[in-house]
Amino acid sequence: MASIDSFHFLKESDLNIIENWFENENVRRRMDGLLPLHQWYARVSNEENNAVMMAYDQLLPAGMVIIEFVDDKAYIGLIVNPQHHLQGYGKRILRKLIDDPNFARGSEWAACIEEDNQISLSCFKAAGFTSVETEPDEDGFFTLTLRH
């Protein structure tokens, strides 16, 4: 059963783990904006409004969460370890993160998800996110939100 025990800030040494996840075609296609990873990490790790966390199921990396805090909103991106796809890890990562008082800086969480990414849309909805939009924006994304 999917379980998330802890979050740790991403370290540069963790990038080797994440690089392996990009061997999965779906991860690479959806998250290619993070490539090359070392350049992306150098940029986001120095910005105080960003948090990049690894989520763990005991000692196994289950996923990575990217959070950008903008005003009263936290934008969240999620990559689930491809070995754990479709096992409930995404929903568990999101719920554990959202319930963590250390990340309650804003009153709203938001995720922008491509209209054809049904797995991610379902994952975020299962974690309590909703969308008022019935059509994607001009770039083909739905914005799902969760107030807390």
For the whole model, what pTM was predicted?
A: 0.90
Q: How far apart are CA 80 and CA 91, in angstroms?
A: 10
83-126 pLDDT tens trace: 999 999 999 999 998 888 777 666 899 999 999 999 999 999 99
| Of the candidates 54, 58, 103, 100, the residue with the CA atom closest to the CA atom of residue 81 | 54
Q: How far apart are CA 4 and CA 97, in angstroms?
A: 9
100-110 pLDDT tens trace: 877 766 689 99
| Of the candidates 106, 126, 109, 110, the residue with the CA atom closest to the CA atom of residue 118 | 126
Q: How far apart are CA 123 and CA 5, in angstroms?
A: 19
Predicted pLDDT at 1: 64
Classify residue 114 by burial, with Cβ atoms within 10 Å: 0-12, 13-18, 19+: middle
Residue ranges of domains in the chain: 6-147
DSSP 24: S
The β-bridge relationship of strands 60-70 and 73-80 is antiparallel
Give me the mean pLDDT over the 125-144 stretch: 92
Predicted pLDDT at 98: 86
One-letter amino acid identity for 57?
A: D
Mean pLDDT rounded to a whole number for the chain: 91
Cβ distance 148 to 109 under 8 Å? yes
Record: fold of 6-147: Aminopeptidase (3.40.630)
